[in-house]
Structure 1
Amino acid sequence: MEFARIGSPGSVFGGVSPVRRLVAVSAVLLVLLLGGCSDAPSEPAPVDAATPSTARSTVDLSALPKATTFGTTPDAPSDPAPNEGTNGVVLRVEQDTAVYDSVRGKAIARLPARQFKSPTWVPIVAERGDWARVLLPSRPNGSTGWVRSESDKVHKARSRHVVNVDVDARRLVVLKSGREIGSWEVGVGKKASPTPRGRTFILASIRETVNDYSPIVLPLGTHSETFKTYGGGPGTVALHGWPDPGVFGSASSDGCVRVPADALSLLRSLPLGTLVRLR
């Protein structure tokens, strides 16, 4: 659970231990992922008081679509560099926050403070002054948006880790500070339901309480392009274990990435918001 303090790469980011708390969820929640997840009802959103630098003096957050794995943000700009990395900086959303289509632009979405009952952490892919462009967990895949990064509603940290998944080679590699610390053959989506490509992130960590295929499920901020819904949920793609080792090195899943137990043990320790590149 390592976050580095911005400006001090060697120190542990204070107060992040709750980020990696495993979330015990009910059977109703777990059956709704591409292997199972759902969302709990949230309280009505407050009005977001905008700074003078924004295009509007106030934003009614309750009128905006939610940027969650269950939501769609049709006006969100697409990721301009889906195959690139980032500098590792991630944004913690402390309160529901307005997302804009550009710096000082139009409010297009509401990014909730929690995802799957876990704190919301999203990767920053660009910065301009006191604005940050972040990856969003909503459909369509590759959605991004701008938030005010100097707001008291957010703060920054840095993840030292990157997860690279070579879909064609069916291999997952974990890097820490640019150095490989683990590499495994994995199972990926079959031809009829391929694993989506692009950069995404670890959205949450969920303790599996219904099925026995994986003790932990790590939903990502991306979705199946084949299934608009799956098991009653939104078709969220996840990293998770699998009891039959014969699937590793094969294309046999419905879009999720199936990983060996030792890979899952490492992945579950990574900070939320850690960049995952599906290539």
Structure 2
Amino acid sequence: MNGGTGLSRRALPRVALVVGAAVLVAVAAWAAVALLAPPSDAQAGPARAVGAQTPAAAPTPTPTPTPTGFPENTRAYDLSGLPAVDVFAVVPELPVDDEPFAALEPLLAQPAAAAAPVFADPRGEPVAQLPQTQTYGGTVVPVVERQDHWVRVLLAGRQGLPGDGDPSQLSGWIRVSDVTLSAATQRVEVDISDRTVRIVTEGGDEELIADDLAWGTAETPTPLGRSFLMFTDVVEEFAYTRGNPLVYLSVQSPTLAGFGGQSVAVTAFHYHDQRSGPISNGCLRVPAEATARLADLPPGTPVYISE
């Protein structure tokens, strides 16, 4: 053998195994430390409990509808001291119709009980009463405006006599809870310039029932705007009608306080032998067939008169 202190060749594999094992132990220890060490701030994620679920999104709340119009009024009223709104009534507290050529709601109203309180302003006290029935009608009325708790309607009677107040078409407010509402499916349209009378059905169908008519003179003009069919009657003593019906409207003369010895001057459709041009005291003179057709329409049917 050569001299020196070197290891024999036989010992080399054993040393290599020992060194390799030591290296493996060191790597394993480093890996264990790395696994056990907490993550750095850059790597850290939100903590989640084992078995926890993602919370469901909260439902979007549904807003409560806001009532439209004037507040509800549920008070009980003694109506015995209030004037009835009829053809003879003069009620200064009630307003006249402020949009006489505007479209109406397709609704009719009638008191659900013996009488309904009528208000000039829903925030105040009632100023009149509308009976459920009365001799000359006027109790089924067209609706001008519909709210949740109130309806504004056209009414018979007058705010004042000509010269003392405005005799135009009356209106007023009634609580929805005090009326029965029904559909208004037809209206009457009178065009004085064209000399025509038509019945128009909701949806657009038109029926021409007169292609000539008579209307009021300059001194006693036919009232223009919207009104409604109030009452139909056959009055045999009115010989000029030839036994045909008179169909009375809710509106009265703008210039006459009364007529024929009565305290009213109601506009009406009626037959007359002379029925063309501005020759009447305000009434609309039409053929017999037209009066019969108008008499078939229900009370409260809206009427529009234009020139």
Higher normalized strand content (fraction of residues): 1
Aligned to 1:173: 198
Aligned to 1:239: 269
- Pair 1:128-2:139 in alignment: no
Secondary structure at 1:231 match in 2: coil
How far 1:67 moved relative to its partner?
1.1
How far 1:53 moved relative to its partner?
3.7
Aligned to 2:181: 156
- Using the alignment, how far apart are the partners of 2:186 and 2:116 within structure 1? 26
1:220 aligned residue (231, 249, 255)? 249
Secondary structure at 1:64 match in 2: coil
Higher normalized helix content (fraction of residues): 2
How far 1:117 moved relative to its partner?
4.9
CA contact (8 A) 2:87 2:138 kept: no
Listed as ranges, the gaps of 5+ residues in structure 1 are: 1-51
* Mapping for residues 174-213 of structure 1, pairs under 5 Å: 174-177=199-202, 178-184=204-210, 185-213=212-240
The residue type paired with residue 239 of structure 1 is: F
4+ residue segments displaced more than 4 Å: none
Secondary structure at 1:150 match in 2: helix
How far 1:112 moved relative to its partner?
1.8
- Using the alignment, how far apart are the partners of 2:108 and 2:291 within structure 1? 22
State the TM-score, normalized to the length of structure 1.
0.74
- Using the alignment, how far apart are the partners of 1:193 and 1:80 within structure 2? 22
CA contact (8 A) 1:163 1:275 kept: yes
Aligned to 1:80: 98
- Using the alignment, how far apart are the partners of 1:86 and 1:264 within structure 2? 24
Secondary structure at 2:226 match in 1: strand
- Using the alignment, how far apart are the partners of 1:220 and 1:100 within structure 2? 22
How large is the RMSD of aligned CA atoms in angstroms? 1.9
How far 1:170 moved relative to its partner?
3.0
Identity, % of aligned positions = 31
CA contact (8 A) 1:165 1:278 kept: yes
CA contact (8 A) 1:113 1:119 kept: no
In our comparison, the structure showing a higher alpha carbon Rg is: 2
How far 1:145 moved relative to its partner?
0.7
Listed as ranges, the gaps of 5+ residues in structure 2 are: 1-70, 159-166
The residue type paired with residue 257 of structure 1 is: L
> Would the alpha carbon gap of residues 150 and 202 (structure 1) be closer, same or farther in structure 2, given more than 3 Å must change?
same
CA contact (8 A) 1:163 1:175 kept: yes
